Structure formats: structure tokens, C-alpha cells
Amino acid sequence: MTRYSVQRFRAAVLHMYLRIAVIVAFPLFLLHFLFIATPDRGVALLAFALYALWLKWRTRRDSEESLRHANWFVLAIMCLMLYGAYVSNERMHLEVWMMIFPIVYTPIVASRERMVWALVGAVSIASVVLLRPEPLSSISAFVFVAAYLILGFITLMLVRHNEQNIERLAHLSIIDPLTKAYNRGYLKDVMVSEINRCRRSGNALTVIMLDIDYFKMFNDKYGHLFGDSVLEQVAEVLKRTAQRAGDYVFRYGGEEFCIVTSGLSRAEARLFAEKLRLSICALDIENRHSPHQHLTASAGYWCVSDLSEITPSALLLNADNALYRAKDAGRNAVVDFDDISATGTEPVMAEKAPA
């Protein structure tokens, strides 16, 4: 999630750059072509503006797809800047080109590519300032390149600090503050992505709804502070039990948890749900309001192999129905939704999940 948040940030910055490129390059093209009488520079600006416009149109429906073109956009920017630095007759223009490039590439390329672009830019700028019709002295060229590298390093540090803040905020936005499990808001995103992934791979998807038995009476007797401590312990043991790649533990609300996993058969899903239930029993926390005299949990699950017409709401609703059957059966039990569908509760087949 945090990685995707940074990618969305990079994609947003790239789209902002594309809008700026289109808005600025077209008027400059007209200025150079019609009024300054430098058609060669106007053609370069026109080519760059058309490329930016095409890229903006190409990625209009999927902004993150634009990241595949980020390095090509940086290359186009660099070529335009080097051309401008080469034909410029004023030293100030060289400084402008030098300062723009690190600000352009740093926020939109992956972190492992930033050092490559920094070195490519330094070599390119050094080459251009020495090969210009009016070349700078070696000392001036060295000062330019050193200033460019310092500016690039500062920009890189600022962008990385911003990305770390985005990662922290994204992490906080999907984590339940009490239990440190994923929160309910993140559940829908995971369900949609897991359904689509399992459709492609052909794996079954299992949703387990788990509820702590008699927890309201537990809170009334032992106090809410101790109840919160118990929720933390339950969440921790669930996360330790569901630790395969692709296992997700969510706090659904109150004392209810949702576990999403994939790649299990129906029999394996039952064993997994039982393992989760037993892990809570193994905490051996006293609950005198329970017939079992210690903390227990009930679970309902639905394991689906054909996900062609399944939605997140259908999976959650049917797993929840199985949970309530487990409660009706006396609690401290695990119920498979497919076992109860023949008694009158049919699987919910909602509209197709979004791709």
C-alpha cells in the first residue's frame, strides 16, 4: 500500500509536468516560429509539446501507467534542455537549464534510477558547455557541474523525505490504531485486488469472519482497558497464525476480525479457520461469562474457487452468515457457508467486481 501511494504521488507529479509542458511549450513554439524568427527552436518546442500531449492522452484513464513512460519523458526534457543550453548565447540561460533538470527527474523516476540520471545529466551538461560555439573555461564548467550535482542532491533529499512522509501517512491510513491490524477501510481495496488476482491465477479465495464470544459481557466485567488489551493480544495471535504471503488480518469492527487468504482448498480453509480459533483459545484468558470459562471465538468462512461473478460484498456477507450460524450453534465453533447453503441461505451473487 505504501509503495502504491508513492507511485501515485510520482504519477500525479508527472501528470502535472505534462500539463505544464503543454501549456508552456505551445506558446513558446509560436513565439519562436512567428515572432523571433528562429524556426529551428520553434520546431524543437513543438515536437516536445506534441510528445507531452500524446503522453497525457495515452495515460488519461490510468495515471499510474504514465510511470512506464517517465524515463522517456525525462530523456525528452534533457534533450530539450541540452539543445537550449547549446544554442543559448547568454550564460544566465545555462544556469536556468542546469537548475530545472534535477527538479524534473527526481520526483517522477524510481529511486534506483535517480543516481543514473544525475550522472547522465552531469556528463551531458559538462559536454554541452565545453562544445558550445562560445565554450566556457574548464573552471567555469567545473563550477556549473558541481552546482548541478549539489542541487540534484538537495532535491533528491527533499523528494525522499516527502516520499517517506507519504509512506508513513499511507501506513497510518490502513492500520487500526488499537490492534495494529489492517482497518476496515483497507479491506475493500484488498478484496478487489485479491479477487482479480485469483481470477488470473485460478486460485481459490477464502474470507473468514471471526468474532470473540461474549465480549460485551467480558468488557462489562473486566473493564474496557483490559478489553482493549485482549483485542491487542487477539490481533497479534491472528497475525502470527496468518503469516503466509497473501494472508491479511483486518479488524472489521469492535471484537470482529476478518481474515482474507488465497490458494487454499475448502478442506484447507476449514483447517486454517480452526487454527485461528484454537490460537485464541490458547491465549487462555479467563472469561467467567463464557460457558467455557475462558476466551473463545466463533468463525464463519467461505472458500470460493469460481470468482467470475463474485464481488467483495458477496464474500463478506456469506462469510458473515456462516459466522452467525456458528454463534447460533453455541459459539466456539467454525462453520463453512457451503455447509449451510442447502438449508435455505443461498450464496449472494452480486454484480461483477470491478477490474
Q: What is the pLDDT of residues 203-259, one digit of tens each?
A: 999 999 999 998 888 888 888 899 899 999 999 999 999 988 889 999 998 899 999
Task: Catalogue the active-site residues.
Answer: 255
**Triad 245, 249, 255: Cα angle to 5°:** 165
**Within 10 A of 134 (CB to CB), how many other CB atoms are there?**
8
CA 25 to CA 21: how far, in whole Å? Answer: 6
Q: List the one residue out of 231, 186, 214 whose CA is nearest residue 291.
A: 214
d(CA 103, CA 107): 7
- The CATH fold assigned to 184-343 is Alpha-Beta Plaits (3.30.70)
Burial 255-289 (b: 16+ CB within 10 A, else e): bbbbbbbbbbebeebbebbeebbebbeeeebebee
pLDDT in tens, the chain (355 residues): 566 788 888 888 888 998 998 898 888 888 877 777 667 777 888 888 899 898 888 877 666 667 888 888 998 888 887 777 676 655 545 566 667 888 888 998 988 889 899 888 888 878 877 777 666 677 877 887 888 888 889 999 999 999 889 888 888 888 999 999 999 989 988 999 899 899 988 899 999 999 999 888 888 888 889 989 999 999 999 999 998 888 999 999 889 999 999 999 999 999 999 999 999 999 989 888 778 888 999 999 999 998 888 899 999 999 999 999 999 988 899 999 988 755 554 444 434 444 3
C-alpha grid cell, residue 346: 443461498
pLDDT value at residue 352: 40
Q: Would you state the pLDDT for residue 5?
A: 80
pLDDT at 62: 63
Query: What CA–CA distance (Å, rounded) separates 203 from 162?
Result: 38
As a whole number of angstroms, the distance between CA 243 and CA 252 comes to 18
Closest to 191 measured CA to CA, from 211, 205, 201, 172: 205
Residues of the chain with CATH 3.30.70.270: 184-343
Q: What was the pLDDT predicted at 355?
A: 35
pLDDT at residue 90, as a whole number: 53
What pLDDT is stored for residue 2 in this prediction?
61
Radius of gyration of the chain, Cα coordinates, nearest whole angstrom = 29
* Residues 286/289/293/298 CA torsion (nearest 10 deg): -90
Model confidence over 152-187: pLDDT tens digits? 899 999 999 998 898 888 888 889 999 999 999 899
